[in-house]
C-alpha cells in the first residue's frame, strides 16, 4: 500500500491546490479502508522553487470557501500564496502531508511523492482555471475538499510538525542512515541511506520500497544469496520483499542516496 511516483514541474507551473481525505471520510463516502497520507521528497529544484503546505495564519474557512467557490462557479482567479503557505523548496528535504492538509508542489520541482494509497482520492480545490485537452475547465472537487480540509493546520503548526529535521539512525563506515520523517496518523515512515561505499540493511519481515535519488547507480545484493544482485539507475524504484531479509546497498562509481519507505511497527 506504499506508492512512489514523481511529480515534475521543472519549467512548468504549480500543481493543483489539493487535499486528501482521512480514514472516516473515505470509508463513509467511498467505501475504502485507507486514507491517502503522503510525503514530498525534493529530488531536484531550481532557485526560488516553493512547496505549498498548510494554510496561512489568519485565513478563515469562510474567506477560503468564498474564493474557492468563485473560482469554480464564476471563473474568478485568486492568488494561492495569500491562502496557502509557500515554503522554500529544499533539495533533500521531506515535507510530510497527512490527510486533511492543504498542499501542492510549486513550479520548478522534481518531487518524489511517497504515499499510502490503494485507490487515488485527491480532492482538487483550485487549478488556476486551466483547461483540459477539450478546452473545458479541469474538474474541481470543492465540496469534498472543503469537507476534509483541516483549518487548524496553519503555518506555525506546519513548520513545527510537518517539516522535520533529519535524524541520524545509525552511522557506519560505509554510510549513514537518516530518519527523514513520519506523522502519528501515518502508517509508514521514510528514511534515507547516504551510502559512501556500502551499507547493510534488513527487511526484518517488512517490505522496503526504495528509490535512488542521488548518484548514478546502486547495487542491491542479498546477504543470504550474494549471487543475487539488482542494479538500479538514478530515479529508479525497487522493492525488497518482506521475506528478502538482510541485504547490502553498494554505491557504484560514486556515493549515492537511497530513499527507503517502510511500514511502522
- The CA distances from residue 98 to 52, 116, 184, in Å, are 14, 10, 9
In the numeric block, the cell 483540459 is attached to 132
Region 233-243: mean pLDDT is 97
Q: How confident is the model at residue 1 (pLDDT cuts 50, 70, 90)?
A: confident
pLDDT value for 119: 66
Q: Which residues pair with 257 in a beta bridge?
A: 194, 214
pLDDT value for 34: 83
Q: How far apart are CA 192 and CA 42, in angstroms?
A: 12
Q: Which of 247, 210, 254 is nearest to 232 (CA)?
A: 210
Interval 50-87: pLDDT, tens: 999 999 999 999 999 999 999 999 999 999 999 999 99
Region 17-36: mean pLDDT is 92
Domains in the chain: boundaries: 2-161, 167-263
Q: What strand order describes the sheet that includes 217-222?
A: 198-202, 246-251, 217-222, 229-233
Chain centroid, CA 99 distance in Å: 12
Region 121-128: mean pLDDT is 96
Contacts 24+ apart (CB under 8 A), 32-36: 32/118, 32/119, 32/121, 33/118, 34/1, 34/116, 34/117, 34/118, 35/99, 35/116, 35/185, 36/99, 36/115, 36/116, 36/117, 36/120, 36/121, 36/122
Region 174-192: mean pLDDT is 97
Chain centroid, CA 77 distance in Å: 27
Q: Tell me whether the CATH fold assigned to 2-161 matches the one assigned to 167-263.
A: yes
2-161 sits in which CATH class? mainly beta
Q: How confident is the model at residue 118 (pLDDT cuts 50, 70, 90)?
A: low
Q: What strand order describes the sheet that includes 38-45?
A: 2-8, 109-116, 38-45, 94-97
CATH of 167-263, one of 3.30.450.40, 3.40.50.300, 2.40.50.140, 2.60.120.10: 2.60.120.10
Q: How confident is the model at residue 33 (pLDDT cuts 50, 70, 90)?
A: confident
Cβ(30)–Cβ(141) below 8 Å: no
Region 221-232: mean pLDDT is 97
What's the whole-number average pLDDT of the chain? 97
With 0.85 as the threshold, say if the pTM is over it.
Answer: yes
- Does residue 18 surpass a pLDDT of 90? yes
- Helix (H) / strand (E) containing 23: helix 23-30
- Does residue 264 surpass a pLDDT of 80? yes
Higher-scoring residue by pLDDT: 40, 136: 40
Higher-scoring residue by pLDDT: 193, 30: 193
Amino acid at each position: 500500500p506504499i506508492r512512489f511516483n514523481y511529480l515534475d514541474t521543472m519549467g512548468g507551473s504549480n500543481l493543483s491546490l489539493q487535499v486528501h481525505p482521512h480514514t472516516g471520510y473515505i470509508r463513509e463516502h467511498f467505501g475504502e479502508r485507507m486514507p491517502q497520507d503522503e510525503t514530498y521528497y525534493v529530488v531536484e529544484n531550481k532557485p526560488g522553487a516553493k512547496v505549498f503546505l498548510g494554510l496561512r495564519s489568519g485565513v478563515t474557512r469562510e474567506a477560503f470557501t468564498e474564493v474557492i467557490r468563485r473560482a469554480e462557479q464564476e471563473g474568478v482567479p485568486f492568488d494561492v500564496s495569500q491562502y496557502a503557505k509557500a515554503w522554500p523548496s529544499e533539495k533533500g528535504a521531506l515535507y510530510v502531508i497527512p490527510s486533511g492538509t492543504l498542499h501542492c508542489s510549486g513550479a520548478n520541482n522534481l518531487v518524489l511523492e511517497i504515499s499510502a494509497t490503494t485507490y487515488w482520492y485527491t480532492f482538487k480545490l483550485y487549478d488556476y482555471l486551466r483547461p483540459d485537452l477539450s478546452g473545458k475547465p479541469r474538474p474541481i472537487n470543492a465540496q469534498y475538499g472543503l469537507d476534509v480540509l483541516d483549518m487548524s493546520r496553519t503555518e506555525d503548526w506546519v513548520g513545527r510538525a510537518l517539516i522535520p529535521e533529519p535524524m541520524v539512525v545509525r552511522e557506519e563506515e560505509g554510510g549513514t542512515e537518516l530518519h527523514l520523517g513520519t506523522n502519528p496518523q501515518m502508517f509508514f515512515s521514510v528514511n534515507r541511506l547516504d551510502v559512501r561505499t556500502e551499507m547493510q540493511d534488513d527487511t526484518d519481515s517488512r517490505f522496503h520500497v526504495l528509490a535512488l535519488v542521488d548518484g548514478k547507480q546502486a547495487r542491491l545484493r542479498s546477504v543470504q544469496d550474494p549471487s543475487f544482485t539488482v542494479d538500479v539507475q538514478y530515479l529508479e524504484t525497487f522493492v525488497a520483499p518482506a521475506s528478502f531479509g538482510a541485504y547490502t546497498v553498494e554505491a557504484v562509481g560514486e556515493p549515492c542516496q537511497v530513499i527507503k519507505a517502510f511500514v511502522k511497527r
